[in-house]
Amino acid sequence: MNHIIQLRGISKSVKEPNGETRILFDDLDFSLSENERSIALLGRSGSGKSSLLRILAGLDIGYRGDYFYRDQLLPRTASAMAKHRLDHIGIVTQRYDLISDLNVVRNVKLALRGGASADEEAEKALSAVGLTGFGNKRVRRLSGGEAQRVAIARAIVKAPELLLADEPTGALDEDTENEVLDLFTSLGDSGARLVVATHSTRVADSCDRRLLLEGNRLVEIP
């Protein structure tokens, strides 16, 4: 089976506020294959869903184990992971991480390296998430659902191979959650892969595979 990403033997511990060390992952394995469009990561709060996404994004290199991209072992250095992230990965965080003083299109362009076509690419991404004509709006004037769509547009503007989403519908109402799910389905149809950390059964059920973080490892849910 051809894999896009594999994590092998990942182990990580974290310091608790009381000073004690807690094992987060113990010899954890993860893979995303070519024929999968989406994977849901489930688990109680504090189980490590967000931490696993940070490792997949190359934002956390403080672990033991190996990270393979298309069967090539990636150096576990900040510079190598930053390049990997820039070239292949888009990220949607729980808090959107938009800059409220900038307009929508400038927020989306933050994910690009610049260039004459940046405005056009940003507008195309906004159109893909149903926000045509929103480019000049200030982020502070957007609804929660609109802000989430801007965050997704910023994540997909560079056409990443992999989209990582951390609780992307956690603060949304049911109707807006449905809109975001439809958007993720559309992105999958166009070739993007999604790994999403979620508490939502509806989001999880929309994915090709569901994995539960339990006992420091991943367990597949039938």
- Smallest CA-to-CA distance from 109 within 146, 153, 164 is with 153
Give the whole-angstrom CA distance, residue 81 versus residue 116.
27
**Range of the structural domain that residue 144 is part of:** 3-221
Mean pLDDT of 185-199: 90
- pLDDT tens for residues 19-53? 899 999 999 999 999 999 999 999 999 899 999 99
pTM here?
0.90
Residue 188 has pLDDT above 90, yes or no: no
Q: Which of 57-71, 78-92, 167-181 comes out lowest in average pLDDT?
A: 167-181
User: What pLDDT is recorded for position 129?
Assistant: 86
Number of compact structural domains in the chain: 1
- In CATH, what number is assigned to the domain containing residue 110? 3.40.50.300
